[in-house]
Amino acid sequence: MKRRISILGATGSVGTSTLDLVERHPDRFEVIALTAATNAAALADCARRTGAKLAVITDERKFDELRDLLAGSGCRAATGHDAMLEAAAGDAEWVMAAIVGCAGLEPVMAAVEAGRTIALANKEALVTAGWLMTDAAKRAGATILPVDSEHNAIFQCLAGNSHDGVAKLILTASGGPFRTWTKADMDVARPEQALAHPNWSMGAKISIDSATMMNKGLELIEAHHLFGLSSARIDILVHPQSVIHSMVEYVDGSVIAQLGSPDMRIPIAHALAWPERITTRAETLDLIKIATLSFEPPDEQRFPSLRLARAALESGKGEAIVLNAANELAVAAFLDRRIAFGDIARIVERAIEETDAPAPSSIAEVIDIDQSVRHKVGESLSSLVA
Ligand SMILES: NC(=O)c1ccc[n+]([C@@H]2O[C@H](COP(=O)([O-])OP(=O)(O)OC[C@H]3O[C@@H](n4cnc5c(N)ncnc54)[C@H](OP(=O)(O)O)[C@@H]3O)[C@@H](O)[C@H]2O)c1
């Protein structure tokens, strides 16, 4: 039986890597639905190549273009909120959640509530919805498989071991393109410098998050929700080669690590075929060529986003929603050249200081907090000229 899959965010970096694997293994996967925000041409191309049944575009202005591009293909073009939820919770049993940002939250929740297996790349959805999502997954019998390379590594390191024996999780971080830069140099860094990640090829938002190290902060919160450990038992370790993707330390002193080339097709393949394994086109790890693996402590002075994310998690309230929304807006403003690199963390910190967000008891409350922060931060950013 082929696995019936949907890919939310099919035209992005993770979506494209997922399609690469699906097309390599046509005997194993049947594509049901694909989605994108605005890129109708790429979406139609993916839908035609894979024989998808449904293609959903978020931007309604692009619907006519998508429908025309898919004419005669047998793939239905659609747009709108309900169509997105259909892509997430319709006929597919396995869903790749690869939309970027909190925009992915509602589709992910629809898949969770429908009891699907969700390969979760869209970390912002889990960061904002936290226990609401993991509790809903338990109730609905949904399975959440981590795709982020660090969490996928931890998932693999935990397999076959008693979770009671876990002492701590060690999330590795490359340190990003500014690992060795001074704070003064980083303050005036340009978008093209921040986008130039030394090891990974990724979408723009996560690349900027890697440069500020907010990505690792979001991953800390993600790890807490996925694996149920307190912030105090999740360490961050800078490892510039990105060969060890994360580790689990057990109470007996054993440390289990997962290694691989820095290629997202490896963790995606793991989630795609789980509990089996499939081949990928990723480069095989050559440890003799790499020769040295090095480690450093993270620097929260130069990378304040790490401190902000840990504090947001420890607040036990809705601070992670505020942190995420303010960060999404600040990153977009930086990419538009409206603010300096150093302003990103300052904007996030100010939003947290100025917002008292209670712990949400429903997804509607998460969306309310997210929208009110976007409104407030958006207003202060709109006065800046691009
Ligand atoms: N890239 C990586 O290597 C990597 C690794 C680990 C985790 N992740 C996580 O995976 C997620 C996706 O990252 P990415 O790098 O693949 O992002 P990306 O390249 O920017 O792709 C984002 C995808 O989401 C769609 N999209 C964007 N905004 C949307 C909206 N408002 N509503 C619906 N769809 C929307 C885009 O469609 P269009 O193409 O039409 O804009 C695209 O298909 C992020 O949460 C990221 O943190 C990524």
Phi, psi dihedrals of residue 249, rounded to the nearest 5° = -100, 130
- The alpha carbon of residue 163 and the mean position of all alpha carbons in its chain are separated, in whole angstroms, by 24
What is the pLDDT at residue 385? 57
To test the ligand 1 pocket, which listed residue (38, 46, 100) has its Cβ within 8 A of the most ligand atoms?
Answer: 100
Task: Report the candidate in 123, 83, 78, 86 with the shortest Cα–Cα distance to residue 105.
Answer: 123
Closest atom of ligand 1 relative to the 9 alpha carbon: 43
Q: Measured in whole angstroms, how far is the alpha carbon of residue 112 from the centre of its chain?
A: 16
Q: Using an 8 Å Cβ cutoff, are 148 and 119 in contact? A: no
Q: Is the CB of 39 under 6 A from ligand 1?
A: yes
Q: Which atom of ligand 1 is nearest to the CA of 11?
A: 43
Q: Is 38 in the pocket of ligand 1 (CB under 6 A)?
A: yes
Cis check for the bond before 275: say yes or no (omega within 30 of 0). Answer: yes
Retrieve residue 182's tokens.
């001074």
Which architecture characterizes domain 3-146 according to CATH? 3-Layer(aba) Sandwich (3.40)
Q: Domain limits of the chain?
A: 3-146, 151-300, 317-386
**Ligand 1: centre distance to CA 170 (Å):** 25
**CB of 100 closer than 6 angstroms to any ligand 1 atom:** yes
Token output for 336: 């538009």
Atom of ligand 1 nearest to the CA of 125: 45
Was domain 317-386 assigned CATH 3.40.47.10?
no
Query: CB 190: neighbour CB atoms within 10 A?
Result: 12
CB of 12 closer than 6 A to ligand 1? yes
Q: Say which DSSP state 1 is in.
A: -
CA-to-CA separations, 120 to 199, 255, 299, in angstroms, rounded = 21, 25, 28
Could you say which DSSP state residue 110 is in?
A: H
Q: What is the mean pLDDT of each run of 10 residues along the chain (386 residues)?
A: 97 98 97 98 98 98 98 97 97 97 98 98 97 98 98 97 95 97 96 93 96 98 98 98 98 98 97 97 96 97 98 95 98 97 97 96 98 96 72
pTM of the model: 0.97
Q: Is the CB of 99 under 6 A from ligand 1?
A: yes
